[in-house]
Amino acid sequence: MSMAASTPLSPGATIGILGNGQLGRMLCLAAARLGYRTHVYGPDRDSPAEQVATVATVAAYDDEAALAAFADAVDVITFEFENVPAQAAAFLAAHTDVRPSWRALEVAQDRTKEKTFFAEIGAATPPWRPIDSLDDLKTALNTIKPPAILKTARLGYDGKGQAKITNASDADSAWKTIGGEAVSSTRPYAILEGFVDFTREISVIAARSRDGATVCFEPTENVHTNHMLATSTVPAAISSAIAATACDIAVRAAVALDLVGLLAVEMFVAPDGTLLCNEMAPRPHNSGHWTMDGGGCDQFEMLVRAAAGLPLVTPMRTVDVTMINLVGDGIEDLERYYTDPTARVHLYGKAHARAGRKMGHVNIVRLKKS
């Protein structure tokens, strides 16, 4: 049921979403506002996205019959997380339009590919080396001196699969922490990355349409607690020149990937103002949730527009915003936010709060100062 590239999807058409977490949920809500139906696909029952989607398929990512039926039932497919199994994405791409491209997924799934890609587009990164063994790690530590961080190449997020190395003598325990002892066929297994003494962390989200038009949300300043995003604030306390460079990098990356959709890039701001790219995600991003109450088209609507072939609009911001993640027991702060007129509460419909589980977020809006 794929559409000709130049024809926008009409209201009533169905947007397929691979993955059924909170990003899928907010994508469904944005799609509904534009008159589209949504069909989410993922392995979990009563998921955040299933609760608000028009249709939900609960099936495994390797269930080819279910994937084929899903592809037949939708007009375009996008995804809400980058660790969609390669085979599932390739299988779907053979059946219908998948946006962004498989190439964007492939690069974002592997830190070695991601870092190499940043270098290819002329964007700086922290110094890094691919690591396949404890011996590799010990050798690399001669070049990338501690402090450094060892990260699994694939499937790490929110600090999972990472170990900080403060002294070269930490190599054995760091290798063990990231599961290196069990390494078999996965190559490359990890990267060693120099620890950056950054002044702040920012992220920026670019969007690209089917016809190649690009727009960029302004950078947000991010604070992490226990490796997980805690708050995102706009405007970031950076110069307009650094903000423009950050957007330029994200747009260049989106163009180089021939991506249709969103690309979020996380960066460290070094003391001299240099931007060092940490990682990227070809999907809506937690640090972009402020856009939901920022005053203009939000990141979820922007992705729906890109996937549906509608025009993108320049992001607009009418207020200053701090987005606060409600993680695990952070949900207890809700009472306070419910009575705060500057707080916009967004909950994800998850029944059980667990330590480290993102339950929702709150956007605190203030009159715009800059």
Residues in contact with ligand AMP by CB under 6 A are: 126, 149, 151, 156, 159, 193, 195-196, 201, 224, 227, 266, 278-279
Which residues, at least 6 apart from 227, have a Cβ–Cβ distance to it below 8 Å?
Answer: 158, 159, 160, 162
Distance CA 185, CA 294 (A): 46
In whole angstroms, the minimum distance from the beta carbon of 279 to ligand AMP comes to: 5
According to DSSP, the residues that pair with 206 across neighbouring strands are: 216, 263
Distance CA 294, CA 297 (A): 8
Query: 41: how many CB neighbours lie within 10 A of its CB?
Result: 33
CB-closest chain residue to ligand AMP: 196
In whole angstroms, the minimum distance from the beta carbon of 154 to ligand AMP comes to: 12
Please identify, using beta-carbon distances, which residue of 143 and 240 lies nearer to ligand AMP. 143
CB burial readout 119-129, b (16+ within 10 A) else e: eeeebebbbbb
In whole angstroms, the minimum distance from the beta carbon of 162 to ligand AMP comes to: 6
Is the alpha carbon torsion for 153, 262, 286, 318 positive or negative? positive
In whole angstroms, the minimum distance from the beta carbon of 127 to ligand AMP comes to: 9
**Token duo for residue 61:** 């990512």
Please identify, using beta-carbon distances, which residue of 198 and 337 lies nearer to ligand AMP. 198
Nearest to 359 by CA among 21, 27, 30, 19: 21
Distance CA 83, CA 152 (A): 14
In whole angstroms, the minimum distance from the beta carbon of 53 to ligand AMP comes to: 29
Kindly tell me the burial class for residue 310, based on how many C-beta atoms sit within 10 Å of its own C-beta (0-12, 13-18, 19 or more).
middle
In whole angstroms, the minimum distance from the beta carbon of 99 to ligand AMP comes to: 24
